[in-house]
Structure 1
């Protein structure tokens, strides 16, 4: 990487960490979206691994009663791993062209879900044993193809009726498992190691600094206004990547 590339990567993870610090999510999505405009989705996904893993593991360990939540979400999480590795096994790892289109479409869908007053009905407990694995498989396939692991897992987790702290912990758990599965999938394709691993490690510092800044800003900025700006930005970024990938 050139000095300019390193500066762009550091600025990306600083901003992505700030977003996560303010609203509690968004680091992988922002980082993939911005880096996807500078490099291939596979390279962006590889750089994302360590910052995403550490920030989300922190989020998981900060919550209560991890064991009970892990048992409840085990079918979903196991299916995420199967979907990601299965998708990688059939060649869905992010590359160029079609992967950029997929990344843009994923960002557009996530932004639309965040901006529109749409919420899934609450998932009844009797449906979780079959709905969790289905959602997990779909999320894994999307993760393998685009490096973005928010859909459809995030809306599903929001529909489980978890209290706020448990939901934040559940999101961190889902993102942590997705990150680990993506790292394994990328390593199969030779996309995670050597210089890429070093770059991912360096990206941890600006990501954590951004989270600290976001935490300081949280009490001074309306979370609702910030979320709206965040999703509007994703909407524009997704449209740009979709157009770029179709050229």
Structure 2
């Protein structure tokens, strides 16, 4: 039901509504607009704006359409996880999203080095990404140490692929500032497109899935979209390299 371009159009408050709905699918169907607004910590006006941006004339129409969407998936056993991924891949099956990946691939093809940047789980994904790009013949490395020195000149003519779920990791932001002083292009892959890292980037790729955080530090937000984007972009780079020979 939610298309990629619709989600990208949401502001931060409207994203709160989206995140609440995707986490509480069944409960939302019985909620009045005031109850949803209170639960998502926004105003009823924000809920109505959200409904308009996802193609509904009002909250009543949204609930009807959303109930129909949920009924299509009632046979899925692990609804929360499997439906989330099915919904994501359905959302990105568009020319607009594919063109974003094409832009990223062209940026990478034009540079000599690919550097993956991230810490924690994002650092592990960066290591995987560097290996995957190396497998297609593109020089790649990963940096998962937030205090790694950035020597002058070494990273010129590089593409820095920044991985961060929140897009607000302070250590990663500090490292991006250092890379901005080199002749490097910055591509970020974050959950939303409204965070600090996304705004610092030459190109941001966002995936918009519900955040799943335990306590203050344990982030269980699925990273399947990140893996998909890394692999798809790498394959596009490989194809572009073949065509340019």
**TM-score, length-scaled by structure 2:** 0.26
- Bigger fraction of residues in helix: 1
- Write 1 or 2 for the structure with the bigger share of strand: 2
Which is greater in Rg? 2
